[in-house]
């Protein structure tokens, strides 16, 4: 049984939904999902909180101790925060964890165990110095010379062996580090030499000057110094944005032998800048200058979705016709952070409109209604926007390849759109569940139908 499976089992024994457990730990439902699907491990502080909440040891959660007791006392409140409403019908666990013994730990789990051990050992009393240990041994020897004299000598030999072993390990570690550094340095030097030998230019540069988000364009300053110059040589600069056509501008030669230009092209998530060297004979040689990723996505306002339901969606089953009848749903949309860092020369636009829909296989089933914060939602939700889906929406899912999710369609102040989805549900053995692996990074509206 994996760490994620253990967390899921204990959560269900307490009758908690993923939202409710996240509320107790101060994390999002997405974090709980990642833990239970073993795509991420909880931080040490969260492991401690989980062990206290579940009444089990951290070692059991990580799979390095014997199974925990048969069950833990249910201490979840049946009528807590509306965000944990889905806990009302959460499926209970079946009892003891698997007793087949601990499974082999993953590297991430080993790293977590090491961190826990380090914290534990750091809290122990400091050991006596070597001199104090020897004085203590001498005192014991005075009290029992015949019996402990030999043990004192053996202890000294063991101390010497420990020192020798520690010295050997340190020497090996130093040798390994030195070899690694030398190999890394050699590899870097070889790579630099090969690049220099194959390069057509002696120097080059490319940087972002500005962006026009209203027209969705970006402007670069580009520069290249040919390694070999001949009379009549010309240089042009290309921008490949993944769309047709490519954009090209001629370079202007400067007295220092460099060619420069200002190049404007569409703003996309993949932009490659190159210099094309054309000698008098007309042959063309292309030199890669720079590649830019994620500029378009970083310029759009990002949001995060959180879902709340009056009944548990996980383990919701289909009827004889393969149809699901969904409970009442609320979705909150909060300002988020793009996975790409915002480039200051480009900036980021503001949200003009938010629409939230229920999507099957990235195709719209129905739009949710915008609403005020419901009375039964207690607490400050900041500047979150609320959306509501009444109970009774039906969905027919054919097989495990079908997905069901809520997604927000964002329009910015320049009319550009992006789509941000929640973790999708899939159908497995006739019930809704989380996928083993999920990619929710497809924000391109062209891949969504609405």
Are 205 and 146 in the same domain? no
Are 163 and 232 in the same domain? no
- Domain final residue, candidates 196, 211, 237: 196
Domain interval for residue 62: 3-123
Sign (positive/negative) of CA torsion 226, 228, 234, 237?
negative
Q: State CA 120 to chain mean position distance.
A: 28
**Rounded to two decimals, what is the model's pTM?**
0.57
Are 316 and 441 in the same domain? yes
Are 324 and 403 in the same domain? yes
> At a CB cut-off of 8 Å and minimum separation 6, what does 13 contact?
54, 71, 72, 74, 92, 93
Total structural domains within the chain? 4
Question: In CATH, what number is assigned to the domain containing residue 226?
Answer: 2.60.40.10
Are 110 and 30 in the same domain? yes
- Domain final residue, candidates 98, 123, 148: 123
Are 404 and 367 in the same domain? yes
Per-residue confidence in pLDDT tens, the chain, 450 aa: 888 889 988 988 898 888 889 889 988 888 888 888 877 888 888 888 998 899 988 888 888 766 544 444 444 444 444 443 333 333 333 333 333 444 455 566 556 656 665 654 554 445 444 444 554 444 444 444 444 455 555 556 666 666 666 666 666 666 666 666 666 655 555 545 444 545 889 999 999 999 999 999 999 999 999 998 889 999 999 999 998 888 999 999 999 999 999 999 999 999 999 999 999 999 999 999 999 999 999 999 999 998 888 777 888 888 888 899 999 999 999 998 887 888 899 999 999 999 999 999 999 999 999 999 999 998 888 889 999 999 999 999 887 788 999 999 999 999 999 999 988 999 888 888 888 777 777 888 999 999
Are 306 and 275 in the same domain? no
- Domain final residue, candidates 62, 88, 123: 123
Are 145 and 34 in the same domain? no
Are 337 and 311 in the same domain? yes
Cα dist from 39 to 4, 218, 403, whole Å = 9, 36, 19
Report the C-alpha gap between 208 and 291 in whole angstroms: 11
Are 306 and 436 in the same domain? yes
55: which 2 tokens?
Answer: 């009444």
Are 145 and 110 in the same domain? no
């Amino acid at each position: 049984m994996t760490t994620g499976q253990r967390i899921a089992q204990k959560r269900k024994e307490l009758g908690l939904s993923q939202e409710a457990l996240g509320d107790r730990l101060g994390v999002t439902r997405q974090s709980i999902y990642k833990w239970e699907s073993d795509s991420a491990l909880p931080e040490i502080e969260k492991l401690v909180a989980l062990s206290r909440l579940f009444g089990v040891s951290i070692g059991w959660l990580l799979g390095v101790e014997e199974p925990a007791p048969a069950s833990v006392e249910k201490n979840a409140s049946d009528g807590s925060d509306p965000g944990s409403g889905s806990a009302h019908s959460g499926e209970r666990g079946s009892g003891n964890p698997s007793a087949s013994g601990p499974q082999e730990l993953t590297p991430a789990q080993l790293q977590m165990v090491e961190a826990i051990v380090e914290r534990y050992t750091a809290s122990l009393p400091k050991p006596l110095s070597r001199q104090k240990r020897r004085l203590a041994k001498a005192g014991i020897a005075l009290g029992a010379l015949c019996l402990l004299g030999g043990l004192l000598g053996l202890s000294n030999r063991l101390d010497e062996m420990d020192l020798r072993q520690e010295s050997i390990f340190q020497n090996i570690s130093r040798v390994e580090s030195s070899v690694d550094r030398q190999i890394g340095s050699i590899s870097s030097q070889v790579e630099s030499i090969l690049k220099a030998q194959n390069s057509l230019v002696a120097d080059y540069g490319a940087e972002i000057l500005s962006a026009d988000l209203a027209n969705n364009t970006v402007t670069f300053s580009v520069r290249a110094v040919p390694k070999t110059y001949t009379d009549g040589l010309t240089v042009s600069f290309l921008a490949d944005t993944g769309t047709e056509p490519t954009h090209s501008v001629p370079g202007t030669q400067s007295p220092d032998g460099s060619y420069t230009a200002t190049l404007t092209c569409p703003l996309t998530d993949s932009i490659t800048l190159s210099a094309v060297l054309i000698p008098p004979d007309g042959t063309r040689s292309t030199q890669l200058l720079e590649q830019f990723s994620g500029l378009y996505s970083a310029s759009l306002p990002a949001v995060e979705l959180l879902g709340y339901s009056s009944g548990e969606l996980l383990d919701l089953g289909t009827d004889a016709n393969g149809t699901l009848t969904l409970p009442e749903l609320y979705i909150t949309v909060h300002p988020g952070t793009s996975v790409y860092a915002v480039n200051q020369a480009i900036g980021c636009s503001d949200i003009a409109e938010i629409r939230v829909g229920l999507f099957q296989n990235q195709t719209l089933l129905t739009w949710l209604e915008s609403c005020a914060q419901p009375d039964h939602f207690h607490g400050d939700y900041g500047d979150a926007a609320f959306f509501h889906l009444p109970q009774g929406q039906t969905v027919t899912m054919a097989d495990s390849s079908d997905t069901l999710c809520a997604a927000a369609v964002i329009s910015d102040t320049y009319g550009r759109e992006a789509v941000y989805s929640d973790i999708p549900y899939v159908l497995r053995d006739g019930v809704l569940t989380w996928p083993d692996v999920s990619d929710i990074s497809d924000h391109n509206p062209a891949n969504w139908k609405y």
